[in-house]
């Protein structure tokens, strides 16, 4: 676990959003602020509900009502011990909200990216009114997600967000082992840069594993679908990863969705494999999938990945089910 990571604030915030749909802000002073919903007349009753919800996560919270009467502030011994964490680089001073302050209603207007579309402040999940899909919040975006072209030369607009990860610092022992190509491939599938297992708990990790872990923290069922199966599973990654060769047996619902999509659009030349987004996630009991394509430093969307996304969005009612996550790695 990185010593600068605000783990407890992040876990509390993700759980309150995922389980209750509340608007939650994580602060680097060790607090977690929860806005009183407009339809809740009593801040006192809401404070009791928040206290119970945080207590159910295994914490002993102190909960106070803000001066406005429309916000509840939560602190625990664990969050106060991590005060100051998350305030780094260009994200502001320690008095500013940290990288986990993107609220569910997305009221802050982002900078328009080149080729992108400014999201509206609407909370709708659909594409028709430009609302930012609320499920993207569990991936801990560094700024408000935005629409942009899927890839260079593509006319397809999809959701994009930037997410931050900590770099894994390779020790001398690992360095010596990974100088041998076979060991490096078997241990890491040649993924670079390797990441710290901040969310997953793995001794070292990659963006796909960390995104799956963030989904799971928020209550989703999620897996990394690896189209590349040339080596055995990395043991610590295996609980998060399913190979293409295992997909039909281990995730028949995802396999059937993928098979139907490929057969429906022969003009896209998808073939029997390749192109599936890196991460698939869904709520337990739900039938609606969320798909994420992860791109680390220097990566780009490949043609078959673009074709798969095109097929998905042809049949979707809107563009709310697919996103590209751009990884930013902090040393």
Domains in the chain, please, with CATH? 7-91 (3.90.1070.10), 163-330 (no CATH)
| 78 touches 85 (CB < 8 A) | no
pLDDT of residue 183: 94
Looking at the whole model, is its pTM more than 0.75? no
pLDDT of residue 113: 36
In angstroms, the Cα distances linking 40 to 35, 43, 208, 215 are 10, 7, 38, 28
Measured distance CA(25)–CA(263) in Å, rounded: 44
pLDDT in tens, 57-88: 999 999 999 877 888 999 999 999 888 765 43
pLDDT of residue 229: 67
3-state secondary structure of 320: coil
pLDDT of residue 197: 94
Percent of the chain with pLDDT over 70: 84
Place of tokens 């010596």: 176
Beta-carbon contacts of residue 151 (< 8 Å; ≥ 6 apart)? 300, 301, 306
In the chain, the largest separation of any two C-alpha atoms, in whole Å, equals 64
Percent of the chain with pLDDT over 90: 60
pLDDT of residue 317: 76
Sign of the dihedral defined by the CA atoms of residues 204, 221, 246, 249, in that order:
positive
Q: Which two tokens stand for residue 310?
A: 């095109």
Q: Which of 257, 222, 219, 255 is nearest to 241 (CA)?
A: 222
| Positions of the chain with pLDDT lower than 70, given as ranges | 1-6, 85-130, 229
DSSP classification of residue 234: P
3-state secondary structure of 89: helix
Which helix (H) or strand (E) segment holds residue 146: the answer is strand 146-149
Place of tokens 């009183």: 36
By residue count, the chain amounts to: 331
Cis omega (within 30 of 0) for bond into 143:
no
| 168 touches 330 (CB < 8 A) | no
Measured distance CA(83)–CA(144) in Å, rounded: 24
Measured distance CA(299)–CA(205) in Å, rounded: 17
């Amino acid at each position: 676990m990185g010593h600068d990571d605000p783990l407890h604030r992040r876990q509390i915030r993700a759980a309150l959003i995922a389980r209750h749909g509340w608007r939650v802000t994580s602060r680097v002073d060790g607090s977690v602020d929860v806005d009183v919903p407009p339809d809740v007349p009593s801040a006192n009753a809401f404070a009791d509900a928040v206290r119970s919800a945080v207590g159910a996560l295994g914490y002993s919270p102190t909960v106070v009502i803000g001066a406005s009467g429309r916000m509840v502030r939560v602190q625990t011994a664990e969050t106060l011990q991590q005060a100051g964490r998350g305030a780094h680089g260009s994200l502001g001073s320690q008095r500013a909200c940290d990288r986990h302050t993107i609220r569910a209603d997305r009221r802050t207007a982002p900078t328009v990216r080149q080729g992108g579309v400014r999201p509206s402040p609407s909370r709708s999940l659909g594409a028709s009114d430009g609302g930012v899909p609320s499920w993207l919040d569990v991936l801990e975006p560094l700024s408000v997600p935005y629409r942009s072209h899927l890839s260079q030369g593509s006319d397809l607009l999809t959701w994009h967000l930037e997410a931050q990860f900590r770099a894994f610092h390779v020790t001398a022992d690992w360095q010596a082992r990974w100088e041998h190509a076979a060991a490096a491939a078997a241990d890491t599938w040649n993924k670079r840069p390797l990441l710290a297992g901040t969310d997953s708990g793995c001794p070292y990790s990659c963006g796909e594993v960390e995104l799956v872990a963030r989904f799971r923290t928020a209550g989703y069922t999620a897996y990394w679908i690896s189209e590349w199966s040339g080596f055995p599973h990395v043991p610590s990654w295996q609980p998060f990863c399913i190979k293409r060769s295992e997909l039909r047996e281990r995730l028949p619902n995802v396999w059937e969705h993928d098979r139907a999509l490929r057969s429906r659009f022969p003009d896209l030349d998808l073939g029997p494999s390749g192109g599936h987004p890196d991460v698939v996630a869904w709520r337990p009991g739900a039938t609606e999938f969320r798909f994420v394509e992860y791109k680390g430093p220097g990566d780009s969307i490949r043609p078959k990945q673009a074709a798969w996304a095109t097929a998905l969005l042809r049949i979707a009612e809107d563009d709310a089910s697919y996103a590209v996550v751009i990884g930013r790695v902090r040393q």
